[in-house]
Copies of this chain bind each other. A is one copy, B any other.
């Protein structure tokens, strides 16, 4: 066998970076190939299609992201955990390599991918999967908080609410790019869920 002349993971990282910055439909395999110093055909040979390449890059990202969220949700009072959760979520919207005005939010990249006819059912499912897993993390955190008397209410409903807000924040970030306001909304959400009186 002839060995690969490029590193599989390197390409995934480079590809994700491009997808993130320019959107899935906005980046061509030629772009990625150029950046990675690889021939375009090699990418097709190794990954099959742009869609498949995106899916692999996305899975990689989702895994890292979930680990980070788990860590954020794992220490301190319930309020601190939720605050850390929102912080990480909002930071993640823009964190990464490119400092330039990058138009695509990480948290919504999947939507750019899932625009085609229905071929990208897998992308939709991968995204749904990540949302489900995040929701489960938040739900467990709320349940644990409830057991310690820091929360009274429906953990499942509240978790879904919180995750919905984070997705909404991603959309607003995309539209306004106003991070301070996002943090206000996040704080307000925490207050609502934790039943703070002076809201």
Contacts and interface: CB of A to CB of B under 8 A. Distances in A.
Interface string A134-163: 000000000000000000011001101101
B157 A188 contact: yes
A184 to B, nearest CB: 7
A6 B12 CA distance: 47
B124 A175 contact: yes
A55 to B, nearest CB: 15
A26 interface: yes
A41 B128 CA distance: 40
B192 A128 contact: no
Contacts of A5: none
B153 A181 contact: no
B131 A175 contact: yes
Contacts of A23: 115-116
A164 interface: yes
A189 B127 CA distance: 23
Nearest to A112: B115
Interface string A163-183: 111111111101110000100
Interface string A63-86: 000000000000000000000000
A115 to B, nearest CB: 3
Contact of A184 (B24, B25, B157): B157
Contact of A172 (B103, B167, B169, B184): B167
A25 B170 contact: no
Nearest to A158: B188
